[in-house]
Amino acid sequence: MNIRRFNQKGLDVFREYLRQAKIDAKAKLPVQPVPVELLTGESTSEPTSYVMPAFPDFFATKIDLASFVDRVFPRSKYDEIRIDVTMWTWLAAFMFDRITNGRRKIKEERAYVASLGHEDFYRHIILGTYFVYFNAKEDLSRVQVLLYDDPTTMNEVMVQFGSYQTLMRNKGLQAVVQRLYYDTEKGRIKRGAGGKEAGTPRRLMDFFRQIELNYDLQSVSEPKFWDMIPAEFAKFK
């Protein structure tokens, strides 16, 4: 079948479905599947030209999810598809069981209803993940710290850096964040990196915002970044 995009009625119905799903999940009641007629009905959506391939029952990591999406759309169409929010919302509805751990882990609305807003777009489980993946596709080892975990979770590094344009455009900066906070042996974020204390991603974001006043971070190399990082980050170095 072809991938579709919601119209306004489809968006409204999906939002209502999400609202009820959250209520049911909170009350420990079974969450109903997304209605088939919402996904395929002509009154709620229209087809795009992209074909939906068979997809796995389970995406273990965000990289698995993003690489699947990367196979669905031609890379040459990135500029066109990245802003098609009603298509991303339909995709989230279509893949709802896969991105909610079988409707057991239901998050806030913006995780499924896509938006281009600064504080929202990277929170969409599929669009945000694909955005990071696409922008780092030449060397995904630099963004493992953003994409290593399962699609239903939003780790602290992703929360802090998911929408940070400078990170998406500077491989040196990506490498520094990866080196600071990713435990390569355990294949996950380093212990203690999820908090608010000294040396955490939240503090690193504050540091970048501060030095960005005086330095053009796109012109800073990885070794120079490494040298510039203050002492409070030593425990993660």
Partner 1 sequence: MTVCRINFLKRKKIAGNKINIQLSVVGATKRFSISADLAEYAFHAGASIFVDVTQSSMEAIRFNFGTVGSPAFREEDISRLTGESVVFNFYVVDPASAQKLGVAEAIRIKSQDGKLGGSNSLLPVDGTKELSGVLWRVDFDISGAEAASDAPVLRIDKHASLNSASEFLNNPVHSALILPAAMRLILAKILLEGDDYEYVPTSASWRHAWVRFAITQTGDALPEAEQSADLPGWIDQACAAFSRRSQLHDGFLKHIEK
* Residue ranges binding partner 1 (CB under 8 A): 49, 79, 82-83, 116-119, 121, 131, 163, 165, 169, 213-220, 224
Residue closer to partner 1, measured from CB, 32 or 165: 165
Could you tell me the smallest distance in angstroms from the CB atom of residue 224 to partner 1? 7
Contacts of 18 (CB under 8 A, 6+ apart): 106, 109, 112, 113
Could you tell me the smallest distance in angstroms from the CB atom of residue 187 to partner 1? 28
Distance separating alpha carbons of residues 79 and 40, to the nearest angstrom? 26
Please count the residues of the chain.
237
Note whether 211 and 228 are within 8 A (CB): yes
Could you tell me the smallest distance in angstroms from the CB atom of residue 86 to partner 1? 13
Residue closer to partner 1, measured from CB, 29 or 83: 83
Residue closer to partner 1, measured from CB, 39 or 220: 220
Residue closer to partner 1, measured from CB, 30 or 214: 214
- CA geometry: angle at 56 spanning 37 and 161, to 5°? 95
Tell me the CB-side half-sphere exposure of residue 224, using CA atoms within 13 A. Answer: 11
Q: Which of 12, 15, 89, 99 is nearest to 48 (CA)?
A: 89
Residue closer to partner 1, measured from CB, 47 or 192: 47
Could you tell me the smallest distance in angstroms from the CB atom of residue 111 to partner 1? 17
- Taking every pair of Cα atoms in the chain, the longest distance, rounded to a whole number of angstroms, is 59
Which secondary-structure segment (H or E) carries 143?
none
Could you tell me the smallest distance in angstroms from the CB atom of residue 106 to partner 1? 25
Distance separating alpha carbons of residues 53 and 126, to the nearest angstrom? 16
Distance separating alpha carbons of residues 79 and 58, to the nearest angstrom? 28
Contacts of 185 (CB under 8 A, 6+ apart): none
Residue closer to partner 1, measured from CB, 25 or 52: 52
Could you tell me the smallest distance in angstroms from the CB atom of residue 166 to partner 1? 9
